Amino acid sequence: MSYCKHIEKLPEPRKSLHKNYHDNHYGFPLHDDNELFGRLIMEINQAGLSWETILKKEDNFRKAYDEFNIQKIANYGEKDRQRLLSDPGIIRNKLKVNAAIVNAQKITELKKEFGSFEKWLEHHHPLSKQDWVKLFKKHFKFTGGEIVGEFLMSIGYLPGAHDEDCEIHTKIIKHNPMWNKQ
């Protein structure tokens, strides 16, 4: 069952939580590097958990990770790492916390060459999901197939976020997602 149809079957308040993400964020192109990185952090943290758990903790993630500021996170040291690992508002997984820090450092390097994380993504578009996964694994930590696929669908680089008969699919087309530029 698609996400679009699944949401309709959820009871409140779960339905409203998912509907807000579905209707206003999922599949829409993102252009802000910090927001792109924030989505990647959230997708990494979702691994092994429900997306609902991550949506409920989004505000906590924003606060804990300095509003997803790439430069600040790239400069995190051991004190920050320990702060994150002891924060009950986020997912306290050492591999996921370390991935956020290492990935911020890598994005900082990529920005020097490409100007921005978004431009790095654009430079490699279009790729198949399989090729995207290989590219992400080459550059980033904790980026398997599901994480990369969902990340790229969620930011408009891969199709499939919404059913074609979903009204949000039509709205996303108006925003000219990258998958529609192939």
User: pLDDT, tens digit, for every residue of 132-156?
Assistant: 999 999 999 999 999 999 999 999 9
Region 159-178: mean pLDDT is 97
> Please, what is the average pLDDT of the chain?
97
Radius of gyration of the chain (CA): 16
The residue type at 134: K
pTM of the model: 0.96
Instruction: Examine the pLDDT at 1 and tell me if it is beyond 90.
Output: no
d(CA 18, CA 113): 37
Are residues 104 and 73 in contact, defined by beta-carbon separation less than 8 angstroms? yes
Going by C-alpha positions, the residue among 31, 34, 114, 89 that lies closest to residue 66 is 34
Task: Give Cα separations from 58 to 30, 65, 97, 138, 162 (angstroms).
Answer: 17, 10, 15, 27, 21
Instruction: Examine the pLDDT at 182 and tell me if it is beyond 70.
Output: no
**Element spanning 29, H or E:** none
Tokens of 34: 């910090």
